[in-house]
Structure 1
Amino acid sequence: MNHMICLGLKSVLPILLRTRSKQRLSILIYHRVLPSFDFMRPDEPTIEQFDWQMELLSRYMKPLSLNDALTLLDDNRLPDNAVCVTFDDGYADNEIHALPILKKWDIPATVFVSTAFLDGGIMWNDSVIEAVRLCGNSLDLTMLGLDIYELPTNESRQKIAHEILKKIKHIDNNRDEYVSSVTSQALTSLPTNLMMTSQQVVNMYKSGIDIGGHTFSHPILAKLNAQDAEKEIINGKKYLESLLGSPVKFFAYPNGQPSKDYNNNHVKIVKNCGFKAAVSTSWGVSSTRTDKYQLARFTPWDKVPEKFLLRLFINQRNII
């Protein structure tokens, strides 16, 4: 990594963008950190990539815990280039791969956990991805209104998995039936170690990582009735608080797009449940005027350090 180039970006961009002393909080969103590149998950950082990303944050940003950042923001004392690191869902590699790197660079973080999948569970999207990885040379998707696809390459498998996820992500019902149609074609059993165990969640908490709520089973809240949505939010919070013996202060909306994935009724539920703040997946940065229960998040997707840092600074103009 060329630190001189990165240092130059740090010193020039905030001036050009006039973001100094503007009380802007960047919250990064991650899901997984992989040991090596996975053709089925090309957007997920590897250990090597995550390491230099955290090094950049340590050198050129001001990493803060979500709790400290929001306290400083409320007091109008947030430092320039403040950044928080968050993870969604509760993948085991958060504890195995991400935690040592976070500790190496002294980066606080919050992990939002969907509790239904702890201790051997698998999320529906991962079921699709792993089934397509493990199926034979063709995949029959006629039940989904698609075709029978030949899968001669890794790239074709990744493309088809993405197409399936996009098609069934927001369907109102029968998603489990669609997922079963795909998983039934896997030639071997799906993995049972993708998500954290309860003990791994405890380990992360004891290591100084904040644990946040992410519902019980990661539904799209906007597709549920009010009672079921409330149960999802409350049950996830109660489980984590019982597991950790400590209040759970922060929440992440599953999928996280306002109006599409959650609405103002869910924001009210989150407030009434006693959460201190909540995060969405709206791209941008938060400021003193941002609703603390709909904080913005963003992660540069660049694979080159200089571009990653550049995009992170540029994003500071995008206030939610």
Structure 2
Amino acid sequence: MPILKSLVLKLIFKLGVFSLFHYIHRKKITILYAHSIVQSSDIATSEWQPLRTQHTTDQLIFSLKVLDKRYQFISLSTALRILKKEIKPIDNALVITLDDGYLNNIKAAGPIFSQYNIHPTIFVSSAHTNNNIPFWFDRLDYALQQIKNEYYSTKILDELFTFDCRSRKKLVRSYASFRVKIKSQFVNDQMMRDYLESLSCLIEKQTGKALKQIMQKDSHAQLASWDQLKEAQQHFNFEIGSHTINHARLSLLDENIIINELSQSKQHIEDKLQLTCNTFCYPDNSYDNTTLSIVKDYYDCALTTDPQLNKIGNNMMELKRLNLPTNREPLNILFQISALRLNLQKHFRITNSL
């Protein structure tokens, strides 16, 4: 099957179908996102490997080399000016964004972005940045890997969940299922974060190991400080955006808490970095009509992870993004974020619903 897919993909490019769609949609803006980007040479010597998929610098270099031949890299601020009709559109414009504020985005990936004259936007959760607090998904990830038993059970509200720790492969699947389940079980984000805090503390107490013990030297989960963000802005032309205070799922919070998460994170960033913070990114892609009505009071735009391209006239509080593609085949990288692929997906969704 992979061979057949590869042949079909080559045929699509050879017949010019990809190029036709690429040309037709050339005025649209592609926005990509990534999270942690680990230095490839650090992986073998790292004390642990996250269960969640990570980008590597080798993958980044290869992908950017491919994308550079078909796209023009622009900053998010330039994209906003285009979408507001302040400047003329740039053909095949592409923006790079980075979620969560990992130090490796600057230390490992910064020089690579600089080689391509890319000015990425990094979205930070201000409380985590301010206190170097690991995100719950990293903290629990590390904690689970310290468990020596074959199984570990916990209650999610009234339902028992068991982690399968017999092998890394089984734990990867188990942890992925757990993340899906807790996000569907908790209707209040603060309650979910309180539960995860308790669970992480319990496992850390039982194993005697915690991610915070190695945060200062960890290449995966260490967060950039305010000073490091300032250096990234000055030396690598990074732009800084807000990702709330606590990496909060806004659609699952009361309105007054939403306002606080949006306003105070903006204020923290502006005070610490002496800049205007006018861009926002929804943690976990969590937003609703209430959130949309509030976020526009504080920011010029807000980014989702809804997969689509952006054009003039789109809702600036619902800009679309695609995951930064990685693959060993250049054609696959281009196809993953292409207008052709997005149109095919839309067509098949409509067809399947008939």
RMSD of aligned C-alpha atoms?
A: 2.6
For residue 128 of structure 1, the aligned residue among 140, 163, 167 is 140
For residue 189 of structure 1, the aligned residue among 198, 201, 210 is 210
Shift of 1:316: 5.9
Alpha-carbon distance in 1 for matches of 2:244, 2:132? 17
Q: 1:219 to 1:201 in 2, by over 3 A?
A: same
For residue 16 of structure 2, the aligned residue among 12, 19, 31 is 12
Alpha-carbon distance in 1 for matches of 2:258, 2:49? 34
1:67-104 CA deviation, whole Å, 9 max, x = no partner? 11221233373222211000111111111111111012
User: Could you say which residue in structure 2 is the equivalent of 1:55?
Assistant: 65
The reply on whether 1:177 has 2:189 as its aligned counterpart is no
Please tell me whether the aligned partners of residues 139 and 210 of structure 2 are also in contact (alpha carbons under 8 angstroms): no
Q: 1:251 to 1:137 in 2, by over 3 A?
A: same
Alpha-carbon distance in 2 for matches of 1:160, 1:179? 19
Shift of 1:12: 3.2
| Unmatched runs of 5 consecutive residues or more in structure 1 | none
More off after superposition, 129-138 vs 212-221: 129-138
User: Could you say which residue in structure 2 is the equivalent of 1:267?
Assistant: 292
| Unmatched runs of 5 consecutive residues or more in structure 2 | 1-8, 217-221, 347-354
Report the TM-score, using the length of structure 2 for normalisation: 0.79
For residue 74 of structure 2, the aligned residue among 59, 64, 71 is 64
Report the TM-score, using the length of structure 1 for normalisation: 0.87
For residue 116 of structure 2, the aligned residue among 74, 91, 105 is 105
Bigger helix fraction: 2
Alpha-carbon distance in 2 for matches of 1:25, 1:181? 41
Instruction: Indicate the structure (1 or 2) with the bigger Cα radius of gyration.
Output: 2
Shift of 1:154: 1.4
The reply on whether 1:154 has 2:168 as its aligned counterpart is yes
Q: 1:277 to 1:15 in 2, by over 3 A?
A: same
For residue 218 of structure 1, the aligned residue among 219, 242, 247 is 247
User: Could you say which residue in structure 1 is the equivalent of 2:6?
Assistant: none
Please tell me whether the aligned partners of residues 27 and 91 of structure 2 are also in contact (alpha carbons under 8 angstroms): yes
Alpha-carbon distance in 2 for matches of 1:283, 1:136? 39
Alpha-carbon distance in 2 for matches of 1:307, 1:298? 14
Please tell me whether the aligned partners of residues 281 and 297 of structure 1 are also in contact (alpha carbons under 8 angstroms): yes
Identity %: 23
Alpha-carbon distance in 2 for matches of 1:133, 1:172? 28
Which amino acid is 2:284 matched to? Answer: N
Shift of 1:251: 0.7
Shift of 1:28: 0.2
Q: 1:92 to 1:177 in 2, by over 3 A?
A: same
Q: 1:294 to 1:277 in 2, by over 3 A?
A: same
Number of residue pairs aligned between Structure 1 and Structure 2: 309
Q: 1:263 to 1:10 in 2, by over 3 A?
A: farther
Alpha-carbon distance in 1 for matches of 2:73, 2:64? 9
SS at match of 1:262: coil
Q: 1:307 to 1:18 in 2, by over 3 A?
A: closer
Please tell me whether the aligned partners of residues 221 and 262 of structure 1 are also in contact (alpha carbons under 8 angstroms): yes
Please tell me whether the aligned partners of residues 215 and 232 of structure 1 are also in contact (alpha carbons under 8 angstroms): yes
1:128-169 CA deviation, whole Å, 9 max, x = no partner? 211112222334223233354442221122222212211213
